[in-house]
Structure 1
Amino acid sequence: MNAVTANAKRASAFLTVFLKEVRENLRDRRTIITALVTGPLVGPMIFALLLGSMLSRELDKAEQPLHVPVIGAERAPNLIDALKAGGIVPQAAIANPEQAVRRQDTDVVVRIGGNYAESWRKGEPVQVEVIFDSSQRDANTSVERVSRLVEGYARQQGAMRLVARGLSPGTAWPISVARRDQATAQARGVLMFNMLPYFFVITIFLGGMYLAIDLTAGERERQSLEPLFANPVPRWKILAGKLAAICTFSCISLLITLAAFAVLGPFVPVDKLGMELNLGAHFAGTVFLLMLPLVMLIAALQTLVAAFAKSYREAQMYVSLLMFVPIVPSLLMAVFPIKAKAWMYAVPLLGQHLGVMGALRGDGVSLQQVLYCLGGTLAAAVVATLITAHLYRSERLAISG
């Protein structure tokens, strides 16, 4: 009976701290805005709007008439007709095409050589210059469109020359390369959303950041931590209640983000690029499961770092530095695109990145990969929590200044 009573008191102490911290921070406007609005809602909206506008602009460039200055258009009327048929609208020649491209007055300029007509009559190769600036990413679609049309016209005319000489067009191309792309429409969508795992991690981070700072450095600065520690309650119960509150806010923030992406995903016009994007319930469930132990790890790390600060502002600076850590796996995968191994799923952050990308590609995540991901990150979370609990036993933690 005494054991049951003791367990009930322990549970009551934990719930008291948990409910107290949640209730107090629900009244904090800054925490609510950051944890439940700015990160989980505004972020996905900006992401979807930027991506949607970028895709729409690129699609417009690929489909609408493209105005291109052409130098020497009178020397190659048939080539000009081919460009017009492809949606290119030839413009008047400009004096300094290189400077015009560098100043972004135009995306691309076509220059036809002065000996074009003579070389064409002799059956010799002719030169057509496509002038552009490769550092201007916004011009890539226009450059590719013009280059494709010029090269297509060249192949067509080359084949006609061979036919005129009684030769098969296949003579010039003894090997035919057949490209068989095995990527599914959903897998190709990963190319546009490879930063999504980092987005989810940052949402978790922001969801609990201000709460973690306030529950440690904030209470220490307000001198409310010392009377809390004076209660006849083990320190680890107080820490458990605070960590549970932080994890609750982080989980709610993550759920709101997943719901926002599920709603906004269909409005991104990836289907026009032959891609497919599925951010529905199955994807959201997989992401939430993989991120659960990471919620615990980040909460423990934020609390640990905030405990070393003497003031709220100082803790805010220290904890903000942790935001650079989650981007490391995304940068590594972008710079060093390596094939995922089973053990990599056990590495915190990296395992979540690989798991989310697998779910996004439509390949799914195997049970072994899920267990590695959960086990490795959970082990790291336990270690971080034990270190934080050890720090909470120090009397210096409750003393401000």
Structure 2
Amino acid sequence: MREILAIYFKEISDAMRDRRTLMMVLASSLLLVPLLLFVFSTVMSQVESQAVDRSVLAVNMKDAPSLENYILRQGYQIKQAPADYEEKSRNKELTKPVLIVADNFEENLAQLKKVELEIAYDTSNRQAEMGLRPLRTLLNGYVQERSGLALMMRGVSAEVLQAVEVKERHISRPDERRVTITGMLPMVLIMAIVMGGMFAAIDSTAGERERGSLEPLMMNPVSGLQLAIGKTAAVASVSVLIVILTVSSFFPAQSLIANEALRAEFQFAWKDALAFLVVLIPLAAALSALQVALSLTCKTFKEANVRNQLLSLVVSFMPMFFLLNPGKEPAWLGWVPIMAQTQMMNQVLKGELVSLNAIAIALSVCCVIVAVSLLFVSRKMREVVME
């Protein structure tokens, strides 16, 4: 045990020595979630501002008095669009789409001719595109009212065309939370774990091989298993620290949420933080052990960095399964690392209870990964000396 602790503190000391990398990793773990939530809330506020803004930019509205009357009755203001609205939309000076009324709109409509209303906006102008849906809803209401009046003029009730009424009935639990944008946070947490432990794993294995300091270390009276446990425990400690800091950053991040809807959706309490830690700490240990094993197979820091980047790429793509398959998750996901943790974190964000069985399965899988990785590293250590 004394030998393992000596190796552990030696690796921790080496990790602390590279302060630039360490500070970058720690700062990113503390700032990433607050920054993402701030960006998400800002985008949602921009979308809602378009819905709240009761104004319509229009061209040639004088040829559509009935449409003008309808828009005003809905509580909207009509503003004349500038003559160079196309150029201003391209330059992002206009933040709303422009409604273009065709010439002789009212006359053609009275003669039962087909008429068109055009909505102009630049597709690269994201803020203007956000105002497209409210404007379409407004115009659809005008079309329905106009169609109903036309039927009534001919003695036909508009209700004939609306014989079927569709209603929504929500069957979710009253205490269940919605998870929309915040569903991306589990992916962010997992990537923080992978990136946080990667540098320490590479430096303690491939880095020492490249510097020539691993062979002298093996000359000491320690076994390969002791070296494997000490090095893996040190890397895992860095990863666990990243987990704790990242999860802790959720609390100050809530004060940066500028959007009321997102603030109501993202209710992260201490019990949620504890659930996240229970889910993520075993995963951090498993990924650290895997990174140490992968890095030890490389002779240079650069080679190990490339292989670990590939591992990070694979890990980042695994949670995409939930975005591509938003339905009921199959039972086998509970046995797949990364996916099982993502599934449980989504349940926590929704306010659902995570079953002890799911936690036990995920913990068992992580323990198997750690055990297999330690055995591989302990054997590989002796092979490194012989090379």
Q: TM-score under structure 2 normalisation?
A: 0.88
Matches within 5 A, 1:233-272: 233-272=222-261
Q: Is 2:249 aligned against 1:295? A: no
Number of positions where the alignment pairs a residue of Structure 1 with one of Structure 2: 385
Bigger mean CA offset, 242-251 vs 179-188: 179-188
Q: Is 2:174 aligned against 1:180? A: no
Equivalent position of 1:357 in the other structure: 346
Equivalent position of 2:66 in the other structure: 78
Amino acid at match of 1:23: S
Which stretches in structure 1 are left out of the alignment for 5+ residues? 1-10
Equivalent position of 1:153 in the other structure: 142
Equivalent position of 2:40 in the other structure: 51
Equivalent position of 2:297 in the other structure: 308
Equivalent position of 1:15 in the other structure: 5
- CA deviation profile, 1:196-235 (whole Å, cap 9, x unmatched): 1111111111221221111112222332222221111111
What is the CA–CA distance in structure 2 between the aligned matches of 1:190 and 1:206, rounded to whole Å?
A: 25
What is the CA–CA distance in structure 2 between the aligned matches of 1:126 and 1:275, rounded to whole Å?
A: 44
Q: Is the 8 A contact 1:186 1:277 kept in 2?
A: no
Q: CA deviation at 1:243?
A: 0.8
Amino acid at match of 2:268: L
Structure 1 counterpart SS, 2:183: coil
Bigger mean CA offset, 158-167 vs 137-146: 158-167
Equivalent position of 2:329 in the other structure: 340
Q: CA deviation at 1:20?
A: 2.2
What is the CA–CA distance in structure 2 between the aligned matches of 1:27 and 1:96, rounded to whole Å?
A: 58
What is the CA–CA distance in structure 1 between the aligned matches of 2:82 and 2:153, rounded to whole Å?
A: 34
Q: CA deviation at 1:266?
A: 4.4
Equivalent position of 1:328 in the other structure: 317
Q: CA deviation at 1:383?
A: 2.4
- CA deviation profile, 1:237-285 (whole Å, cap 9, x unmatched): 1110111111111111111101101221243245336951122212221
Match 1:209 to one of 198, 214, 222: 198
Equivalent position of 2:368 in the other structure: 379
Equivalent position of 1:30 in the other structure: 20
Structure 2 counterpart SS, 1:394: helix
Q: CA deviation at 1:184?
A: 6.6
Q: CA deviation at 1:189?
A: 4.1
Amino acid at match of 2:291: Q
What is the CA–CA distance in structure 2 between the aligned matches of 1:96 and 1:140, rounded to whole Å?
A: 14
Q: Is the 8 A contact 1:185 1:276 kept in 2?
A: no
Q: Is the 8 A contact 1:347 1:377 kept in 2?
A: no
What is the CA–CA distance in structure 2 between the aligned matches of 1:131 and 1:181, rounded to whole Å?
A: 36
C-alpha distance 234-92 of structure 1, shift in aligned 2 (>3 A): closer
What is the CA–CA distance in structure 1 between the aligned matches of 2:100 and 2:317, rounded to whole Å?
A: 45
Q: CA RMSD in A?
A: 2.9
What is the CA–CA distance in structure 1 between the aligned matches of 2:320 and 2:9, rounded to whole Å?
A: 39
Equivalent position of 1:284 in the other structure: 273
Q: CA deviation at 1:387?
A: 2.2
Q: TM-score under structure 1 normalisation?
A: 0.85
Q: CA deviation at 1:295?
A: 1.2
Q: Is 2:196 aligned against 1:226? A: no
Bigger mean CA offset, 360-369 vs 239-248: 360-369
Amino acid at match of 2:66: N
Q: Is the 8 A contact 1:195 1:330 kept in 2?
A: no
Bigger mean CA offset, 235-244 vs 79-88: 79-88
What is the CA–CA distance in structure 1 between the aligned matches of 2:84 and 2:125, rounded to whole Å?
A: 21
Q: CA deviation at 1:73?
A: 0.9
Structure 1 counterpart SS, 2:249: helix
Equivalent position of 1:111 in the other structure: 100
Q: CA deviation at 1:104?
A: 6.0
Q: Percent identity?
A: 26
What is the CA–CA distance in structure 2 between the aligned matches of 1:251 and 1:379, rounded to whole Å?
A: 18
What is the CA–CA distance in structure 1 between the aligned matches of 2:240 and 2:77, rounded to whole Å?
A: 52
Structure 2 counterpart SS, 1:110: strand
What is the CA–CA distance in structure 2 between the aligned matches of 1:273 and 1:211, rounded to whole Å?
A: 36
